[in-house]
Amino acid sequence: MNIIDEFDFEKLDYQPIKKEYVKVMYFNTLWFGLIMGIGLGVFFYFNDVEWYTWAMAYLGVLVLMILKLIYNRAEIKNRLYFVGNQFVVYRSGLFLLTTEIVPFSRIQHTSLNQGWLSKKLGLASVSVFTAGNDDTSIKIKGLSLDEAKKMNSFILNHLEE
């Protein structure tokens, strides 16, 4: 029997990420919209396109950005994490809830990261890397810098045992 099978992951004491992280999500969405707008502008500049075509394209980008901003605000409430003595759990999503579970026995190393905006807001992320996987198994974004340092140290200390 697997250790994961013995736990009821619905009853764990999950911790939410910091609400300030929504500012980072908003910034990323707005930055993407700006890049899309510039790209459309360049495309329309070099192509003979009627005004209503570019108006509809820009309106489409604007609607997608607004929907993404609303989604970000609603989804951040479901970003929860738990670090126990045997595993790390991360939950996220709005319409499709995802629970990622990584036992300590599979963890190879961790890293603590801060982007420039996260640094200004006092936020950080912890990436957990597992054996047999080149990608990050779990990346918990939106932690306070102190929480991220504590989590990183806690996991590394358990790996040394």
Q: Average pLDDT, stretch 54-63?
A: 94
Distances in Å between the Cα of 120 and the Cα atoms of 17, 115, 144 are: 16, 9, 11
Q: Where are the beta strands (DSSP E) in 93-146?
A: 98-103, 107-113, 123-130, 136-144
Residue 155 has pLDDT above 50, yes or no: yes
pLDDT digits (tens, 9 = 90+) for 70-105: 999 999 999 999 998 888 999 999 999 999 989 888
**Beta bridge partners of residue 31, listed in sequence order:** none
| pLDDT in the model for residue 56 | 95
Which tops the pLDDT comparison, 125 or 135?
125
Q: How far apart are CA 39 and CA 60, in angstroms?
A: 14
Q: What is the pTM of this model?
A: 0.83
Q: Average pLDDT, stretch 53-65?
A: 94
* Count of C-beta atoms within a 10 Å radius of residue 47: 9
Residue 1 has pLDDT above 50, yes or no: no
